[in-house]
Amino acid sequence: MRINIDIDVKVKAMLTIKQLTQAVGQGITPRMVRHYHQIGLLPSPTRSNSNYRLYSEADVQCLRRIVALKQQGFQLSHIGQMLSDQAASNRADALLPQFQKQYQTVLQQLIKLRQTAMALEGLLGRDRACQSTQAAAIAQLRLLETETQAAQSISEALWAHLDAATADHPENFSEALQCLLPDLSQRPEIEVDVLSHLVLACGDVSLAAFAKFSSDAIKAARESLQASCTVVGDVPAVTNTLDQTRLTHLGCRWTTLIDNPHIHDAADAEHTFWQKPDWQDRLMPLIEGNIWVIGYAPSVLMKLCAAIAQHEHRPALIIGLPIGFSHAPAAKRQLMQLDVPYITVEGTLGGGLLAAVVLNRLAASLIEKPDCHCYLQGK
């Protein structure tokens, strides 16, 4: 009798498939759960006396892991391999080749999409003086139905025809950006100006989707620049790219954290920062009230974020765009979790030129439009 009572209690604690999907959320449906059973991602569920599927808390956690990995872009086959071994952390070397293969597959897809995007940019980004050729170009594009040698020849002839018009006048970047940038009408005018110049600096329109401004970033930048703050660059290549004429006009000073003229790239900056503890010690006194412009070393941004998290100091603004493939994205995520004004670009995108462009446009906008309060709209 005791056994039956225990079984009844356990059954009542279980979830139906509908309750399972509600507990997990994220758009998961019963149909998706049944599919995961069929392909072996989820173990076969317990059945009630009425043959209904029943799920435990362990099933909820397993499904949540599947959803999280899927959202990160992993294929279901790879997710199954990761979940099949409880000691996955001990066999990372076996999984890495699979991840590398998937990365190369995704990269090839991105390359093809990028090629398509470039072709569309070549058409949509043309200013009025070049648009007379667009109708003929679109008509020719309709012939490109197969990837044959003939189609390739048509494509080359098409671009030769379009490109011929470009020699007659300078490019109108403003018109091109109006056609290519996403809808930025809900963003402050100064923010749109910064985004436009970032795109012009790197030639990648998609960067606008990854740029992140804290709600107080522009206000903090204008107030601190107006108060003649100090601007701190992580390496000389960043400091030398700052608009020093405008900064002088505003009464601002500038300095470099890793003041080593022999730094040529992000790898040099990162190694130099770690090789000499003096550079890390020098960081602390430069934090309070200053604007930081980081475009090379992700560890500089990490160290800065750690100091802020410990409530030791508070900068006026952090422009965090270091380069890197693991540390840089992690440092940017740490930055966005802090309660400080920031401007950054998610992921690996960044660099010293882009970081300097942000600061330069903020300084320019303050001089050109000192009374602009567009960043206060909706506050």
- Asked if residue 89 belongs to a domain, the reply is no
CATH number for the domain that contains residue 295: 3.40.50.10230
Domain interval for residue 23 = 2-84
Number of domains, the chain: 3
Q: Report the chain's terminal Cα–Cα distance, integer Å.
A: 65
- Asked if residue 101 belongs to a domain, the reply is no
CATH number for the domain that contains residue 30: 1.10.1660.10
**Residue 240: per-residue pLDDT:** 96
- Asked if residue 13 belongs to a domain, the reply is yes
Element (H, E) at 202: helix 189-202
Say whether 54 sits in a helix, a strand or coil. Answer: strand
- Asked if residue 99 belongs to a domain, the reply is no
- Asked if residue 62 belongs to a domain, the reply is yes
Give dist(CA 358, CA 194) in Å, integer. 6
Name the residue among 331, 339, 305, 343 with its Cα closest to residue 213: 343
Q: How many CA atoms lie within 13 A of 118 on its CB side?
A: 8
Last residue of a domain, one of 149, 170, 191: 170
Give dist(CA 78, CA 266) in Å, integer. 32
Name the residue among 359, 352, 360 with its Cα closest to residue 328: 352
Same domain, 164 and 218: no
pTM, full prediction: 0.75
| pLDDT tens over the chain, length 379 residues | 444 444 444 445 688 888 888 988 888 898 888 888 888 888 888 888 888 888 888 888 888 888 888 887 777 877 877 776 554 555 556 667 777 777 788 778 878 887 777 777 777 776 666 665 555 665 555 555 444 444 455 567 666 766 776 777 788 888 888 888 888 888 999 999 999 999 999 989 899 999 999 999 999 999 999 999 999 999 999 999 999 999 999 999 999 999 999 998 899 999 999 888 888 889 999 999 999 999 999 999 999 999 999 877 899 999 999 999 999 999 999 999 999 999 999 999 999 999 999 999 999 999 999 998 888 765 4
Encoded tokens for 5: 């009572």
**Residue 200: per-residue pLDDT:** 93
Is there a contact between 260 and 235 (Cβ–Cβ < 8 Å)? yes
Last residue of a domain, one of 170, 189, 217: 170
Same domain, 217 and 195: yes
Last residue of a domain, one of 130, 147, 170: 170
Give dist(CA 42, CA 34) in Å, integer. 9
Same domain, 29 and 153: no
261 CB-contact burial (10 Å; exposed 0-12 / middle 13-18 / buried 19+): exposed
- Asked if residue 98 belongs to a domain, the reply is no
What does the angle CA 23 – CA 27 – CA 33 come to, to the nearest 5 degrees?
70
- Helix/strand/coil (H/E/C) assignment for every residue in 144-201: CCCCCHHHHHHHHHHHHHHHHHHHHCCCCHHHHHHHHCCCCCCCCHHHHHHHHHHHHH
Same domain, 144 and 218: no
Same domain, 277 and 356: yes
